[in-house]
Amino acid sequence: MAEEMNEEFTEGLLLRPLPDRRVLAHFHFQSSVPPTRTYGRHHHLFPKSIYQLINKFRVREMELSFTQGRWNYEHWGGYDPISSSNAKPPGVELWADFDVSLDQVDASWKNLTHALSGLFCASINFLEHSTSYSAPQWSFRSFAGKLRYGTLPREAVCTENLTPWLKLLPCRDKAGLSALMDRPSIYRGYYHSQRLHLTSDEFDTAKSNSGIMLEQTLTVVLQPNTLGDRAMVSGKTLQPSWSLSSLFGRKVHGKCSVSKSSNVYVQFEPNLVSELKEVWESVESENGILIHDAFWNNPIFEISASPDRVVKEVGNLQKEVSSILYEFLVEDYNDSKPFDLGLRWKLPVVWSCKQAPLHASRFLMGSGNERGAIAISLRSSSNNNTQRVGCSEKGSQLRIDIFQVVPWYVKVYYHTLKVFIDGELQSTMENIEKMHLSPSEDKVSPGVMEMKLRLPCSVKTAVLTLEFDKGFLHIDEYPPDANQGFDIPSAVVSFTGFQASIGFEDNFLNKLPILNELQERKHVISYTEVLLVPLTTPDFSMPYNVITITCTVFALYFGSLLNALRRRVGEEERLLKSKAAKKRGPLSSMLSKLSAKLKGSPLEPIPTPSTSPSSINYKLIVKVILVAGMAAGWQYYFR
């Protein structure tokens, strides 16, 4: 009981080779604290900023993710716990549930977005407007209408977002597994997603005293550094060898001092294990190489360190071969003996990841700036065994949930919904079990569509189409890069009849949070692409041209007016006479004076090209009147 009343922090790292010569690295950190009513308000490990967010805005559950890149479901898998919970849409995704009255949910959401924006140095505050978020009914967990969901597809993710995320860890990035997070190495990856999931029962006394739990994950897909050309064996390309130092440029010098557990796992998927056994059989060797005492040094692959434990998956009835985890304890290493786990391949191995029942994608139809259509495509994956097993459990129907949010300036006509199965138009009511629609309102709220589909198990392709008109924005509502287009957030496709989880044979492993994440039964979820819709964009150069010409005319007008008001004619005449005298020279001046004395007549003044003051003023007045008339005519014409 005393152990339950203390704060806990755990860290873990899962490494998985991928079929397309890349490596998946999944960092998992978990901080937990008992309830305030029993433990108090002073914490030693749990971040104070998160605790203040929970109590100030009464957050019951929240998830925030920053993602750069798009998860490749075909090559990296779509039917496993990692892809279902950590494959996020590009940009920022935020959803939160509040323990407040219904009339205070929107205000709590706006305040939460501002607080998170300052905490993570991001533009999350753009989600405060009612046009940027929605209130799902059943697409997420049911919270009696107190859940809000919003995305920012164009939000750029950089180190300014990762640094505040690391500051929530007790050791930050100075010790433990988080020390591997070298910024250049992470942001060179093909995909990276940092996620923060928060659960709290601070305001529900009826629940168990689980307190507050903060889960932080960082999922990265990296390309190992290979020197020279790709190694070939028997005409086939070897998988690239890698190590922690080659992937992240660093080694692990021990665990975080306050961490309860710090483990590194190398996972081999079921398809990879099956392929390894086939390769082993082809070289006529023992079939149990993966589980005997020297499995980390064999003719197929070699692990640089001896694992502390081998964990096998149990309860996998779909295939004879299950996945395998190799566990390494980081607490056994220190500065004098750093941990640098490596995997070297000796023979070529080709495999594929486990796919979702249907591959979801989305695209635009039509052309022009007036109207178009959105199409959601669901096509059968190459691995159909999963689909048949899931259908056998649910009968002859394949149930799919679709959640889609469309901005208000894309005016969707939901009555134009059409369903095509294997290229044939179907009756809408026969394939839609349930649907909730919330049409968009101009400059007030986006359009929301939640749908439950029923498809036959033998379906190969299913396409849903919706027609829409493109709206017009005010000139102040256009972003700086308006000609690039406008984003429609990713749609969420959930296969409710399929759950991704990995069960393990050792009950002690249930106490490790990173393995609990793998064992938790979650619906298979896929995110579609972000759509880029071109809207009618005004010519932003026209205001610039009008402003430029108007300023030029006014400059000429005021310049001439000031010149006429401040000019002094007498000084100009004297200046012209002096200039003319200088041009004539001293000899001509002396001759003119001598001739004037001989004749007895006065000296004649030097002729100047200047005219009389009256003529000068007359010309200036005419010029000013002309410029003023041009300016008045210009303003009247362009009014």
pLDDT category of residue 604 using cuts at 50, 70 and 90:
low
Average model confidence (pLDDT) across the chain: 84
Mean pLDDT of 161-188: 93
Evaluate if residue 391 carries a pLDDT over 90: no
**Closest alpha carbon to 419 in 377, 359, 368, 369:** 377
Question: Which has the minimum average pLDDT: 274-278, 381-385, 427-431?
Answer: 381-385
Q: HSE-up of 525 (CA within 13 Å, CB side)?
A: 19
Distances (CA, A) of 517 to 80, 197, 306, 567: 11, 12, 25, 85
Residue 603 has pLDDT above 70, yes or no: no
Residue 293 confidence (pLDDT): 42
Q: Classify residue 216 by burial, with Cβ atoms within 10 Å: 0-12, 13-18, 19+.
A: buried
Return the amino acid letter for 433. Answer: E
Q: Is the pLDDT of residue 222 over 90?
A: yes
- Which of these ranges, 15-29, 383-397, 588-602, has the smallest mean pLDDT? 383-397
pLDDT band for position 287 (cuts 50, 70, 90): very low
Per mean pLDDT, which range of 92-96, 378-382, 457-461, 549-553 is the poorest? Answer: 378-382
pLDDT of residue 75: 93
pLDDT digits (tens, 9 = 90+) for 247-258: 999 999 999 999
pLDDT at 378: 95
* 569: confidence class by pLDDT, cuts 50, 70, 90: low
Q: Give the amino acid at 378.
A: L
Residues 523 and 517: their CA atoms lie apart, in Å, by 13
pLDDT at 5: 67
pLDDT of 143 higher than 80: no
Cα distances (angstroms) measured from residue 411 to each of 47, 467, 473, 490, 546? 43, 9, 12, 17, 33
| Amino acid 638: pLDDT | 64
DSSP string, 35-94: -HHHH-S--SSS-HHHHHHHHHHTEEEEEEEEEES---HHHH-SSSHHHHHH---SEEEE
β-bridge partners, 421: 424, 462
**pLDDT of res. 1:** 38
Instruction: Compare 574 and 404 and report the one with higher pLDDT.
Output: 404
Token pair of 89, please? 């849409």
470 pLDDT more than 60: yes
pLDDT cut 70: percent of the chain above it: 82
Local confidence band at 22 (pLDDT 50, 70, 90 cut-offs): very high
Find the mean pLDDT for residues 215-233: 79
Which has more pLDDT, 155 or 513?
155
**Three-class SS state of 321:** coil
Question: Best-predicted range by mean pLDDT among 296-305, 411-420, 472-481, 588-597?
Answer: 411-420
> Which residue, 83, 76, 78, 72, is CA-closest to 356?
78
The conformation of residue 469, written as its DSSP 8-state character, comes to: E
What is the C-alpha separation between 374 and 468, in angstroms, rounded?
8
Mean pLDDT along residues 120-129: 94
DSSP of 192-253: EEEEEEEEE-TT-TTS-S--EEEEEEEEEEE-----SSPPEETTEEPPPPEEHHHHHS--B-
Q: What is the pLDDT of residues 241-281, one digit of tens each?
A: 999 999 999 999 999 999 999 999 999 998 888 888 888 77
pLDDT score at 176: 93
Which pair of tokens denotes residue 155? Answer: 């939000």
Q: Quick check: 590 pLDDT over 80? A: no
Q: Quote the pLDDT of residue 500.
A: 85
Evaluate if residue 151 carries a pLDDT over 70: yes
In Å, the largest CA–CA distance within the chain is 139
Q: What is the pLDDT of residue 231?
A: 66
Decide: residue 314, CB within 10 A, 0-12 exposed, 13-18 middle, 19+ buried.
exposed
Query: Distance between alpha carbon 95 and the CA centroid of its chain, in Å?
Result: 14
pLDDT in tens, 99-111: 999 999 999 999 9
Is residue 3 scored above 50 in pLDDT? no
What number is the average pLDDT over the span 445-454? 94
- Residue located via tokens 């896929």: 526
SS (H, E, C) 265-291: EEEECHHHHHHHHHHHHHCCCCCCCCC
- DSSP string covering 455-468, please? EETT-SEEEEEEEE
The position carrying tokens 């967990």 is 141
% of the chain exceeding 90 in pLDDT: 51
Q: Letter for the amino acid at 537?
A: T
Q: What is the mean pLDDT of residues 480-495?
A: 91
Give DSSP secondary structure letters for 87-101: ---SEEEEEEEESS-
**Residue bearing the bigger pLDDT, 220 or 384:** 220
DSSP 8-state secondary structure symbol assigned to residue 489: P
- CA quadruple 505, 309, 222, 302: dihedral positive or negative? negative
Distance, CA of 164 to CA of 172 (rounded, Å) = 9
Spatial distance between the Cα atoms of 33 and 214, rounded to a whole number of angstroms: 9
Q: Which of 12-16, 77-81, 296-300, 421-425 has the lowest mean pLDDT?
A: 296-300
The mean pLDDT of 36-57, rounded to a whole number, is 88
Per-residue pLDDT of 606-627, as tens digits, reads 554 444 555 556 666 777 787 7
Instruction: Report the alpha-carbon distance of residue 162 to residue 171 in Å, rounded.
Output: 15
Say how many residues make up the chain: 639
* pLDDT average, residue stretch 414-421: 94
Look at residue 574 in the predicted model and tell me its pLDDT.
73
Over range 218-237, report the average pLDDT: 75
Measured in whole angstroms, the distance separating CA 207 from the mean position of its chain's CA atoms is 34
> What are the distances in angstroms from CA 63 to CA 66, 72, 436?
10, 22, 23
Nearest to 224 by CA among 200, 198, 242: 242
Q: Can you tell me the mean pLDDT for 113-125? A: 95
- Cα–Cα distance, 539 to 542 (Å, whole number): 6
Distance CA 174, CA 276 (A): 38
Which pLDDT score, from 0 to 100, does residue 540 have? Answer: 81
Nearest to 151 by CA among 444, 484, 360, 448: 448
The two beta strands, 424-426 and 410-421, are antiparallel
Higher per-residue pLDDT: 236 or 355: 355
Residue 292 has pLDDT above 50, yes or no: no
Q: What is the pLDDT of residues 522-563, one digit of tens each?
A: 889 999 999 999 998 888 888 888 888 888 988 888 888 777
Tokens representing 224? Answer: 């190992």
